[in-house]
Structure 1
């Protein structure tokens, strides 16, 4: 729920997972696509002795940089969203007119759930928010936020290795490219299955769709010279 994350600052209520299935799989796929793209680009620009090592370190450097950027943006998003929820709670607390507070609460609801909840059901929530005496004055980071940011960084960096490691293991760059792309598509298939099961509409179908996306991307990279 939206207010759970806000009330986490006061250790009230149960916490949501730091990174859910969608977060983890999305970051993994992001890292795979980034590494695959850079490996393809570097393979078109390098040749000869040491080309595989260059591709490995280029892909790793790319994902180190993007993993750091993504982790920082995760912290920015987290603090921004927490600030919005805190602002809403403080506005409701200081609003004297109950109907205005309910309208503000309704506006904050996701669009899909708004028609399912009546104002009479929102009023007890508004009243509870208004009676909490010690809302924090400003949003702040929690330990779990840092853990989540580190998790994102680690996932993006680790996703480099299935794509780039074959270039250290195989002397022939063409063979390494084939192995790299096969491993990437296999991991994308597994990622798609995880998303499919999480969404409740069949893992195999989602896995095949994600693998197909990987094939299309690989073909695009090859067409561009990768």
Structure 2
């Protein structure tokens, strides 16, 4: 594969990877589930199910917006940090100092596998580059990713809250809601396990168990 083909392949990659999608979906499920579990006992009347759906939807709407905005904040902060590193390397005349700067930013897990000669080659390419922008900027994919986070969290409301609209008996609706949530957590873990190279079934069951424990902890802490 040529460099151009590799660049086109990277351009076709989704703006959110499997870990991002699974993490945001689980977050939305936990938020909706704990919220529904907390208020279901206090909700009554013929319109209880609709009120439950609206309140849970409003909760995840707010958290989806907050998480999407914070994703943009994290993205531009990390990009600005990398941009500042590239600028400092271009301005640094001492090659050894440039290599040290790259070494400091290198993950400790990769440190044993990357030599100073490798970093020097990277430093030379950065120093010779004339395409560095004046400052870090957002790109179209950043906003698409933020929108994806918002949509995932909002949509995660419906499997949790919809049973309260479809089933009038609140305890039964709560049971259905929790079963659906646990099933979704299992499939989230299954997908994450496949992405990470683990056993899908074990990862799914582990995610389900983690979801139960986290939900119990959040409710116990007043969440």
SS in 1 for 2:89: helix
SS in 1 for 2:40: helix
Matched, 1:76 2:73: yes
Q: In structure 2, do the counterparts of structure 1 residues 219 and 87 end up closer, same or farther at CA, with 3 Å as the change threshold?
A: closer
Q: In structure 2, do the counterparts of structure 1 residues 96 and 224 end up closer, same or farther at CA, with 3 Å as the change threshold?
A: closer
SS in 2 for 1:79: helix
1:184 corresponds to which residue? 181
Matched, 1:142 2:109: no
Q: CA RMSD in A?
A: 2.1
2:169 corresponds to which residue? 172
Q: Give CA-to-partner distance per residue, 1:89-140, whole Å, 9 cap, x none.
A: 0000110010110110111111100111110111111000000113111111
Q: Are the counterparts in 1 of residues 90 and 126 from structure 2 also a CA contact under 8 Å? A: yes
Q: Are the counterparts in 2 of residues 32 and 160 from structure 1 also a CA contact under 8 Å? A: yes
Q: TM-score, normalised by structure 2?
A: 0.91
1:105-144 aligned within 5 A: 105-144=102-141
The Cα shift of 1:13 comes to 9.6
The Cα shift of 1:48 comes to 2.6
Q: How many residues are treated as equivalent by the alignment? A: 216
Q: Are the counterparts in 2 of residues 40 and 225 from structure 1 also a CA contact under 8 Å? A: no
Q: In structure 2, do the counterparts of structure 1 residues 222 and 173 end up closer, same or farther at CA, with 3 Å as the change threshold?
A: farther
SS in 1 for 2:137: coil
In the alignment, structure 2 segments of 5+ residues that lack a partner are: 1-6
Q: Are the counterparts in 2 of residues 162 and 183 from structure 1 also a CA contact under 8 Å? A: yes
Matched, 1:214 2:211: yes
Q: TM-score, normalised by structure 1?
A: 0.89
One of 25, 28, 38 as aligned partner of 1:41: 38
Q: Are the counterparts in 2 of residues 67 and 157 from structure 1 also a CA contact under 8 Å? A: yes
SS in 2 for 1:76: helix
One of 29, 32, 49 as aligned partner of 1:32: 29
Q: Are the counterparts in 1 of residues 163 and 176 from structure 2 also a CA contact under 8 Å? A: yes
One of 191, 202, 219 as aligned partner of 1:205: 202
Task: Give the Cα separation in 1 of the matches to 2:44 and 2:9.
Answer: 57
SS in 1 for 2:107: coil
Task: Give the Cα separation in 1 of the matches to 2:93 and 2:221.
Answer: 62
